[in-house]
Structure 1
């Protein structure tokens, strides 16, 4: 398998499987080839699993009916009205600040939070029940405290949404039908 290596000022090594099924390894400038190769070797099973998932997702997407442009515009409009209100409410409850909020149609994520505190949300969330949207908003805002998925991060999510595991499972179980028309 081809692996693309990107070096940057980051502190840790990370692996990403892109939507077009490329394996991208991001590593600090100072990481040696040996350390990077060892890391890739340790993550070989993870890479294979996620590559397979991404290939299956691509296959399903090519077979399914995409969301129409008109519906997409409606989802974006609704999300721009609904999500900022939820972000404000939950940010106050959690006790965090945030930067700008961007709504877009993302193929592989429900939301993201940058190191600067900018939040991105997938407009397709508007097809999910409100409690699921709340979970995604809280999940991203909790990254303002912990930029990882550590035990402490999940504890923070659970403090606000005690049944987050059920909501997370619902989102995983219904991901394919939400993403398509």
Structure 2
């Protein structure tokens, strides 16, 4: 029933918020400019390490996504990435960097991402808790 589904969904969100309690608290005090500086530094470090040349970076609080990349290489990152564990922020950043070369989420995309970050799928699963807790 719908009521049961709603109860289960609320319970999942409550469990995610409990697991991500520190990030939820940090998000309440987040300074977007500070977050932007920190995320830009990680973007540049990962781009250099993996041989990417991204275009302009935009950091802002986004409603339901962690990041996006345009065909021109412009990358948008959610400021909330500054409050999640660094390995998960790195996953999102590298995910978007790979998108500057490979559009979509097909086999070629995942192969390239996993070549650069072998545990990408595990990180993808872990960041879902933060999505539930923060969005």
TM, length-normalised to structure 2: 0.75
Verify: 1:158 aligned to 2:108, yes or no: no
> Higher relative CO (CA 8 A, sep ≥ 6), structure 1 or 2?
2
Q: Secondary structure at the match of 2:64?
A: coil
**Distance in structure 1 (CA, Å) of the matches to 2:28 and 2:39:** 20
Q: Which residue of 2 aligns with 1:71?
A: 29
Cα deviations across residues 84-111 of structure 1 (Å, max 9, x unaligned)?
A: 1111122123222111100001001100
Which structure 1 residue ranges, 5 or more long, are not aligned? 1-55, 61-65
CA-atom RMSD in angstroms: 2.5
> C-alpha separation between the residues in 1 aligned to 2:66 and 2:119?
18
Which of structures 1 and 2 has the bigger CA Rg? 1
Paired residues, number: 115
Conservation of the 8 A alpha-carbon contact between 2:66 and 2:92: yes
Deviations 1:61-86 (A, max 9, x none): xxxxx99x9724x1x12321211111
CA deviation vs aligned residue, 1:114-152 (integer Å, no higher than 9, x gap): 111110000111221000000000000001110111111
More helix by proportion, 1 or 2?
2
Answer yes or no: is the 8 Å Cα contact 1:99–1:117 preserved in 2: yes
TM-score calculated relative to the size of structure 1: 0.57
Question: Helix, strand or coil: the match of 2:55?
Answer: coil
